[in-house]
Amino acid sequence: MHNLSTSLSAMRKAGLVLCSALAMVLCANQAHAQVLGTGATSVRELMASWSGQFGVASGGVSYEASGSSVGVARATEQSVDFGVSDVPLTAPALRQAGLRQVPLVGAAVAVVVNLPELGGKTIKLNGDILADIYQGSITSWNHSQIAGANPGVSLPNKPIVPVWRADGSGQSYIFSGYLSRANSKWRRSIAATNNLNLSHGRGARGGAALIDMVKATPGAIGYDALGAAQKAGLVVAELVNASGKSIAPSAASIAEAMERAVWAQDSNSADLDGVASPGAYPMASIAYALMPVAPKAGRKSAQPFVQAAVAQGDAQARQAGFVPLGNAGKGVVAGLR
């Protein structure tokens, strides 16, 4: 009788172990059945919304906001099914990585400042001023260059605290590119880069951390995706564009930049740098999905999800602070085979 009880107990334990093992396998298979993506932090909210609406048909979509540089790297090594970058890859880079590039939405990098003294009013800045701020040449908000760009605005005698992304970020590339076009010293010493490593100011890893740092630091200035900047309740600066006009980031100014951009067929990307149009926002951008041309065995295709989201997800894009692609961009995505 004792032996029988012992045997039954052992069988129950073995059964539990077997069930646990089966459950782990099933969970792993279920996770593997999802489309996996990673990359730009700017699209975190949009990807969550699109995944819930359009990811079901693909078995679910899981997206990790890790930064554009990580998105490119992991899409290249195919540890995910797609990456997202705020900055397009060139045709040679795509061929080398074995990737194809697909536009998702229009976006913008907004400059935000923590200056309650403005009383909610905006401030006008340009690439030259911003470059001098981030290089430590302009250190106070009442500096003559800033005052000259903002006649009639009472600016406080308060130290400026520049905040920048310390991780690999497409937003840093767009921001530093704007500064590079306006300031020769910046262009020679730093240029346009995903990886800022400045001796002046403070670094923050991730867009959310940057916004939190700006909000917690009186006199701070930083940059992030327009949607996140608007939700933070900080002052969003107007920036001088290639036509010499001070333009605020908005759906209209982003759309104008996209409409005037030239599309490159070999990379499915639009050149928005320095678009010369009076109403175009100078740091408008497009977020891109990067997918393997020849997926490894066992990897899922993100194409059905991407095509459905771009074709039908305009409402979610607007709600997250983005601008839906125009006809040219949507045509690129619809034509994927």
Q: Where are the domains of the chain?
A: 36-106+263-269+286-334, 109-256
- pLDDT (tens digit, 9 = 90+) per residue, 235-259? 999 999 999 999 999 999 999 999 9
Would you state the pLDDT for residue 32?
52
- 159-168, 278-287, 328-337: least confidently modelled range: 328-337
Q: What are phi and psi of 67, to 5 degrees?
A: 105, 150
Window from 6-20, 30-44, 221-235 with minimum mean pLDDT: 6-20
How high is the pLDDT of residue 33? 73
DSSP 8-state secondary structure symbol assigned to residue 266: T
* Whole-number pLDDT of residue 336: 87
Question: Domain 36-106+263-269+286-334 adopts which CATH fold?
Answer: D-Maltodextrin-Binding Protein; domain 2 (3.40.190)
Q: What is the pLDDT of residue 4?
A: 36
Q: Do domains 36-106+263-269+286-334 and 109-256 have the same CATH topology?
A: yes
Average pLDDT in the chain: 90
The dihedral sign for the CA sequence 64, 229, 106, 97: negative
- The CATH class of the 109-256 domain is alpha beta
Distance set, CA 298 to CA 35, 73, 235, 294 (Å): 11, 19, 47, 12
